[in-house]
Structure formats: C-alpha cells, structure tokens
Structure 1
C-alpha cells in the first residue's frame, strides 16, 4: 500500500504555485497569451511552422515541467530489469500518461461542426512504407486521445492498413475537403503545429497532417489500445500458426526472440549522415543479452537483405528465418515472438513494439531527429527498451 501511495504521488505531483519561482509563472503566462494571439490572428500557417514559434512552444513545455504543471512522468520502476507485471495496470495497459506540448488549460473548444464532425478535424495524409504508415496512424490516434479532438485518415492509407489490421477504429475521410489547411510535420520532440491545431489554437478548421510522425512519447501512453488497433487479420494469424507449426520440432519450448535487420536503402541513408548500420558485433552483443538470461533461446530473423543474413548467420544453430514472402507476414511472425532485437527503421520498431517483451536496440546509433533511437525511447520512458552497444563488450 505504501508503494502504491508513493507511485501515485510521483505520477500526479501537487500544484503549489506559491513555492514556485514567480518569474517562471509570469513568463509562462506571457508566452501563452502571445501564442494564442498569434495562432488565432494568423491565417497563414507558415507562421506556426517558423522556428521561433516552435522554440516558443518548446520553452513553454520546459517551464511547465519545471513548475510541475506538465510532468514528464519519470519511470515508475527504480531500475532495469523489473517484472513485467509491474509495468501494467489491471487492464493490461502501460501505466503512463502522454507527454503533451499543450496543457489542458491552454486549449480552446469550439461548437462548430463539419459534416457532423466536431471541429477542428485532423486528417493524417500518410505516406511511406508499412512501418511509416503505422507510425502515422499511431501518432494521429494518440493526438485524438490526448486532446479529445476529431481525427481521420485519408482513403488510401485506410485501405492499405485495413487489409492488414481490420480492427482499426479511425475512419477514412471520404467527403470533399475544399479549403483544407496543410500542416507539415516538424522534426521536433514537441509536435508543434499539429498539437496546436489539436488544442484548438489554430481555429475550427480541417487540417491535413503531412510528413512521417513517430510520436512515441504520445502513443506509448496508449500502448494497449495501439496493439489492439494493430491486430493482424485472421489470414495473417493463420500464416503465423502455420509457421510455428512447421518449426515446432526445432523451437520446442524455447524463448522466441524476433530479430529484424534493416539494410538495403538504409546503408546509403546512414552513410550520407556519417553513420554506419549496426554491425555483426552488435548482433552478437544483442543475442548474448538473451542467452545470458534464458537457458533455451531461438532467434527468428527477418531482413530486406536475405543473402546477407543467410551468410552472416550460416554457422548459428539457434537461428531460423522467416519465409520472406511479404513484409506483412514477416511482421506478423516477428510480432508473435516473446522478445525482440531491432536495428533501425520504423518496420524494425513496430515488429518489436507489437511483440511486447524486452526490446534490445543499438544504443549508440545516433542521427539528429531520427525517430527511433535512444533519446526518443528515453523521452517516452520506454524502459523495457534496452540499449546495447555496437562495440565489443
């Protein structure tokens, strides 16, 4: 009981402005008024995307956190590793609140509607490969939940995802949207202009969200719901059963660790930014992490470079490969594993995220503003994501 009381107090810090620096409260008030005035008076959304505006929102968030208004919700667990059951509430959902940029008292409510939908309405345009589109969906889902705002996805995105995940609850926007206003995704932790639109600061309009958001600090708070949204269709579930049935003699009762290795176009992507992809040393370190913790482990490997993984793991007796028929089936199989090893890319991230369990990732792989790397996971308090070095341990 004492532990529960301590946890509760940490998650919901008391608001005591009398003990807080008055100058911070004053600056926060001034910034809030300036933002609201600029947002409401501006019909040109390029103003919102200006770096000064983004910095202003970021500064507000930092002041809010220092005042105890907008908590970062520091990790509930004292150290790693901890039992899984301590991370989840009675419904099986992760015990966390979203890290939002705009507090409830800063938001604006409207009574207007468009075709029966409460305004404002945010429509995710979507784009990219499967992992990117799933990130788009999860981010707009979390925006809708965190800000209680109407969200939709475009028709093409809806058709593509629905064929894989028929349990999705966000509908497509099928009506004509003349005068729709575009919001470009800004590569900042504070999801500036989109959160501003969701909070009502840009007016009662319809907004089209572009880019490729991977806002883990928002959607991780709804991890239980996100996993339900991304429930694979019966066809893919049947293929997963067939895969494990064919491998039952080899796998037995072993702990299954999904392992996705992204290569192909990512080799050039990393090189252009002065980085190298996770190497064989990282693979060994990551696999040893699980071998040291479990007596019997099988690694289930998928990649977009089949020749590479066949050669790299040809002498490993504890490895099996996914069929590689299509990416959706590969993801479904990896998501059915007990734990995961990821490398880079959103596809790799989602195979691990859907699987649950512990996730090992390259902790020293860094590209500024890259959406799936150590600083993002730490900001979202994803404490079951374990960074492993690419250097010999």
Structure 2
C-alpha cells in the first residue's frame, strides 16, 4: 500500500501548514496520507484531525523517498512519484489547499472543550455590550525581533501598523473588541493604544502551550495578523476580514527567494505596507 507522510518541524502554525499540505497533495496524487506520532500528539490535542497515524516503529522501518517542498504550489507537485514519500519543508500557502478550503477548515475543528472555553471567554469579555464584533489580533515578536532585521532584512510590526489596522475596524463596526495575543505582551501593553478601552490583552504568550491563545483568535469574527504562521492560520480558520503586514523586507532580501507575498496571503486580505525606515536608516549608518 502506498504511504505518504510529512516530517513534523517547528511549532503549531508550521505543523498546521505541514498537515494541510500533506492532506492536499496526497489527495491530488490519489495516495493515502499518514501522520507521524509527534504530529498527532500536538495537533490531535487541539483539533479533530482525521488522518491516520503510522507507528514510529513502522515509520522507522520504511525507506522513505524524501521530497522537499518550497513555499507555494507548483505544477510538479501534481505528479509526485514514489510508494513511500516523506514531505519536507514548512510551506504555509493557501495555493496548496484552497480548492478544498472547507475540508481543511474541518480538519482543524477544535475539540469541544477548547471551543467551549474560547466562546465562554469571549462572552465574558463582551459583558453587557450588544452587537460586539470580535477582532483577533496576533502580534508576533519573540525571536523575530532579531531574526527579521539580522537574517531577512525585514521588520516586525510596529505600533503605527497596529494603530492603522485597528482604526480600520473601528471605522467599520460600532462595537469592535480587540482580543490581542502575543509572545511579546509587555511590548504590546506599552505600544498599543488602548485609550478607548476596546483592547483586551489576553493569553499568556506561552509558545510551548499555544492552544488557548490560538482558540481565542480562531473564534473571533475578523483578524489582524502581523507576521508568522500562527496568525496566518488563525485568520484562515476565522474566514472573516483579515489585515496583514506586507512588504516587510527590503527588495534585495534573500528571504524573497523562498517567500512570495502573493502566495502567502489571500488576495482578498488587506495588506498594510511595513515601515522599512529603521532598516534604511541603519544601512545608511553602516
């Protein structure tokens, strides 16, 4: 029997991308996909994923054909040969699976307890307000604060970007309520304008146990993301309006050889260009 799997790497958002791409490519190539125990143990605790698990003992005994993917769908992926194929890479692009979007979103159905907790938390935040529109906000900082300028000639989201994104929703809805999660919460509390009292800083930012933060974001109505796969997947599951940071690298960044903006973000999402002046000023100083 033909077996396909994927090498699980990195954290939650990347693993979701790996799972979705395995699911979609195996289906396109008419093969059965299996997940390794490590992926099942992480994703299976959060979502009602349906792909069967292959035991580690059996997986170790198979002579897999390694097949490395880049970050967007290519025609050659429609005809991948080999009886035992293990996909490598961490692609996060709708171009692989958007044609079966509802299936992918169904694969990432939350377990009932997580769903109940998220909805209960949002109800508590709403209080007595009526016609509340929940906007999930994910601010990716952590290692990216150094990785982006040093390795990718890029930036992370600044306070002006977040102000513009929030003001868009404030201008569109009567009672927007921003549910903000981050792995840099201290920075957020110092830099995000909450003079209107409509921003709630929630979650603990713990990257080792991100399920609760992710569930909160995914149960909002719309999304503001910055960069990274965690925010991308929250937006993709929500399915509402999404504002994202775009053009966050200099044009000569080597990162653009492996990353395409048009493949990373859905066409209907709203991109706000990053302020690259800190990078430009730094290059002038050098």
Q: How far 1:220 sits from its partner (Å)?
A: 1.6
Q: Residues 119-134 of structure 1: matches in 2 within 5 Å?
A: 119=2, 121-134=3-16
Q: Distance in 1 between matches of 2:167 and 2:261?
A: 20
Q: How far 1:238 sits from its partner (Å)?
A: 2.1
* Residue 338 (str. 1) matches residue 217 (str. 2): no
Q: Distance in 2 between matches of 1:391 and 1:159?
A: 39
- Which residue number corresponds to residue 68 of structure 1? none
Is the partner of 2:244 in helix, strand or coil?
strand
Moved more, 214-223 or 331-340: 214-223
* Residue 211 (str. 1) matches residue 94 (str. 2): no
* Residue 231 (str. 1) matches residue 89 (str. 2): no
* Residue 173 (str. 1) matches residue 57 (str. 2): no
Q: How far 1:161 sits from its partner (Å)?
A: 1.0
Q: How far 1:182 sits from its partner (Å)?
A: 3.7
8 Å contact 1:186–1:192 — kept in the other structure? no
8 Å contact 1:342–1:349 — kept in the other structure? yes
Q: Distance in 2 between matches of 1:147 and 1:169?
A: 18
Q: Distance in 1 between matches of 2:268 and 2:16?
A: 21
Q: CA RMSD in A?
A: 2.3
Is the partner of 1:176 in helix, strand or coil?
helix
Q: Which residue, 153, 157, 163 being the options, matches 2:45?
A: 163
Is the partner of 2:34 in helix, strand or coil?
strand
Q: How far 1:294 sits from its partner (Å)?
A: 1.9
- Which residue number corresponds to residue 368 of structure 1? 256
8 Å contact 1:255–1:296 — kept in the other structure? yes
Is the partner of 1:153 in helix, strand or coil?
coil
* Residue 348 (str. 1) matches residue 231 (str. 2): yes
- Which residue number corresponds to residue 384 of structure 1? 268
Q: Which residue, 111, 118, 139 being the options, matches 1:240?
A: 118
- Cα-to-partner distance string for 1:224-247 (whole Å, 9 max, x where unaligned): 111111111122112113312321
Q: Distance in 2 between matches of 1:370 and 1:298?
A: 36
Moved more, 309-318 or 270-279: 309-318
Q: Which residue, 167, 174, 177 being the options, matches 1:295?
A: 174
Q: Residues 1-393 of structure 1: matches in 2 within 5 Å?
A: 113=1, 119=2, 121-165=3-47, 167-174=48-55, 176-177=58-59, 178-187=61-70, 189-191=72-74, 195=77, 199=79, 202-203=81-82, 205-249=83-127, 252-272=130-150, 273-313=152-192, 315-316=194-195, 317-324=197-204, 326-366=209-249, 367-369=255-257, 371=259, 374-377=261-264, 382-391=266-275
Q: Which has the higher contact order (CA 8 A, sep 6+)?
A: 2
Q: Distance in 1 between matches of 2:123 and 2:172?
A: 26
Q: Distance in 2 between matches of 1:230 and 1:348?
A: 15
Q: Distance in 1 between matches of 2:179 and 2:244?
A: 16
Q: Decide whether aligned partners of structure 1 residues 344 and 251 sit closer, same or farther in structure 2, where only a CA change above 3 A counts.
A: farther
Unaligned residue ranges in structure 2 (runs of 5+): 250-254, 277-286
Is the partner of 1:365 in helix, strand or coil?
coil
Is the partner of 2:58 in helix, strand or coil?
coil
Q: How far 1:253 sits from its partner (Å)?
A: 2.0
8 Å contact 1:124–1:137 — kept in the other structure? yes
Q: Distance in 2 between matches of 1:130 and 1:251?
A: 33
- Which residue number corresponds to residue 7 of structure 1? none
Q: How far 1:189 sits from its partner (Å)?
A: 3.1
